[in-house]
Amino acid sequence: MSLSKINIAVAGATGFTGLDLVYLLSKHPRVKILNLCATRNIGKKISYFDKRIKKKLPKVSHLKDINWKKIDLIFLSLPNGEAQKIIKKTFYKYENLNYIDLSADFRVTNSKIYLKNYKKKHKAKDLIKHSVYSISEFQKKRGLNKFRIISNPGCYPTSIQIPLVPLIKKNLINEKDITIDSKSGFSGAGKSYKKKFPHKNFYNSTFAYSTKNHRHVCEIEQEILKFTKKKINFTFNPHLLPTYRGILTSIYISLKKKSSAIKLRNELINFYKKSPFIKVLKLNSPLGSGNVLNTNNCEISICETRIKNKIVIFSAIDNLIKGASGQAIQNMNILFNYKENLGLK
Report pLDDT digits (tens) over 87-120: 999 999 999 999 999 999 999 999 999 999 999 9
Residue numbers annotated as active site = 155
253 CB-contact burial (10 Å; exposed 0-12 / middle 13-18 / buried 19+): buried
| Neighbouring residues of 116: CB distance < 8 A, sequence distance ≥ 6 | 218
- Mean pLDDT value of segment 239-248: 94
**Mean pLDDT rounded to a whole number for the chain:** 94
| Helices vs. strands in the chain: H and E counts, helices first | 9, 14
Report pLDDT digits (tens) over 177-188: 999 999 999 887
Report pLDDT digits (tens) over 295-316: 999 999 999 999 999 999 999 9
Whole-prediction pTM: 0.94
- What pLDDT score does 11 carry? 98
CB contact at 8 A, 56 and 85: no
CB contact at 8 A, 296 and 28: no
Report pLDDT digits (tens) over 111-168: 999 999 999 999 999 999 999 999 999 998 888 989 999 999 999 999 999 999 999 9
- What pLDDT score does 4 carry? 87
Report pLDDT digits (tens) over 194-226: 667 777 787 888 888 888 888 899 999 999 999
- What pLDDT score does 333 carry? 97
Q: Which amino acid is at 262?
A: I
Domain boundaries, the chain: 6-153+323-335, 156-319
Residue 189 has pLDDT above 80, yes or no: no
- What pLDDT score does 106 carry? 98
- What pLDDT score does 2 carry? 63
- What pLDDT score does 1 carry? 61
- Mean pLDDT value of segment 6-35: 96
- What pLDDT score does 199 carry? 75
Determine the straight-line distance between the first and last CA of the chain, rounded to whole angstroms. 22
| CATH number attached to the domain at 6-153+323-335 | 3.40.50.720
- What pLDDT score does 193 carry? 66
Residue 46 has pLDDT above 80, yes or no: yes
* Rounded CA separation 68/61 (Å): 14
- What pLDDT score does 141 carry? 80
- What pLDDT score does 201 carry? 81
| CATH number attached to the domain at 156-319 | 3.30.360.10
- Mean pLDDT value of segment 188-195: 67
* Rounded CA separation 62/40 (Å): 8
- What pLDDT score does 169 carry? 96
- The model's confidence at residue 3, banded by pLDDT at 50, 70 and 90, is confident
Residue 191 has pLDDT above 70, yes or no: no
CA distances from 123 to 1, 120, 151, 217 (A): 29, 9, 15, 22
